[in-house]
Chain A
């Protein structure tokens, strides 16, 4: 699995919230892509990072580990981590690994952004 299997785009929707659009595969090889995207998304005023999984194609256990690392980084900056666009299969994986207890999962971007701005 190569890092090229993942592309990420960063959208700042406001001073407080950024969206990371994930396209492709999330695996242990995604470390640099995720880290770089997070670094672009996170500013001193950022309060929430929203992960868009609509175009997620593949995720293995290494990828789940990457999300834990991302969560730790976000928490360190006192940022919320939210997600949307997760299909039933990946939603079950979030529940199985109990990541859903720390990453707020929403059906749509609108709902995720509303939750991001809620506090």
Chain B
């Protein structure tokens, strides 16, 4: 699974402008290569593969709702583990720490910059929502995901570990996101905020337990960074992964009636996913 790199421009000769330093920066290997649209590789047959391939990533600038920064933090008390060891474990077994409502179909070994993963979420009511993430950044002590168009949130989430105030190691998940469109924004106070809080608190609890913490305590800090909604991005609703997942589910019986088709492939090409979409 990978992101589609954008062709690099040919270096131009004779540039008289003062060039910033072109030495390889220390962070060069930690960032995903530049991508235009996401491309998802093979996924297990049971996975619902929608709303990832062909999508662009979206950050807080492209989102719609209020901008939130939420920090979920757990102290790894009485456990002798370094921040780098925490992150290595987290990368290797990322999906296994998720609560049952989410499935993470990512790389089999670890998490690396540029990886694209499929997410299947079951928020309730029998609904299954398919979306994904791009691994935007990864180093020894942190990694960051950025979301595609149609995801509930526009922005990124950073998983990190470091030294806590008490000298022990702490693990943290920090989101910086806006709801992606007006429908998601409407759902934020009703369900999305709570669902997200529960999700990451449970994930950190599972991680801490795996690392040997007997009774993990997860703290949550919430800051509204920007109360203004970005109405110019209201049209993001076109990509809404929830709506598209529901429409796909409703269309399943019809697709199975098509001549020459056996069992419909889950997550067949989504016309709106663009030319890069696959089934």
Interface set of A (CB-CB < 8 Å, partner B): 28, 53-54, 56-62, 64-65, 68-69, 71-72, 75-76, 85-90, 92-93, 95-99, 101-102, 107-108
Contact = CB atoms under 8 A, between A and B. Distances in A.
B251 interface: no
A69 B24 CA distance: 27
29 contacts: A54-B20, A59-B25, A59-B27, A60-B30, A60-B137, A61-B136, A61-B144, A61-B156, A61-B158, A64-B156, A65-B156, A65-B174, A68-B59, A68-B176, A68-B225, A69-B225, A71-B61, A72-B226, A85-B20, A86-B20, A87-B22, A93-B31, A95-B6, A96-B32, A97-B59, A97-B156, A99-B61, A101-B61, A108-B18
B28 interface: yes
B34 A72 contact: no
B77 to A, nearest CB: 23
A63 B147 CA distance: 18
Nearest to B61: A102
A97 B58 CA distance: 7
Shortest Cβ-Cβ A-B pairs, 9 listed = A61-B144, A61-B137, A87-B20, A72-B226, A92-B34, A102-B61, A58-B26, A85-B20, A65-B176
Interface size class of B (residues with CB under 8 A): 35 or more
A7 B137 CA distance: 24
Nearest to A101: B61
B20 A53 contact: yes
Nearest to B30: A60
Nearest to A109: B18
B67 A72 contact: yes
B254 to A, nearest CB: 36
Contacts of A95: 6, 34
Interface string B156-179: 101010000000000000101000
Nearest to B23: A87
B25 A90 contact: yes
Contacts of A99: 59, 61
B21 interface: yes
A68 B206 CA distance: 31
Interface string B25-68: 11110111111000000000000000000000111111000010
B158 A65 contact: yes
B176 to A, nearest CB: 5
A62 B28 contact: no
A96 B20 contact: no
Contacts of A65: 69, 156, 158, 174, 176
A6 B20 CA distance: 18
A97 B136 contact: yes
Contacts of A97: 57, 59, 136, 146, 156
A54 B225 CA distance: 28
Nearest to A110: B17
Nearest to A62: B158
Contacts of A59: 25, 27
A68 B21 CA distance: 24
A96 B158 contact: no
Contacts of B156: 61, 64-65, 97
B236 to A, nearest CB: 13
Nearest to A52: B20
B142 interface: yes
Contacts of A107: 17
B70 to A, nearest CB: 12
A76 B225 CA distance: 11
B159 to A, nearest CB: 10
B139 A60 contact: yes
B102 to A, nearest CB: 22
B61 A61 contact: no
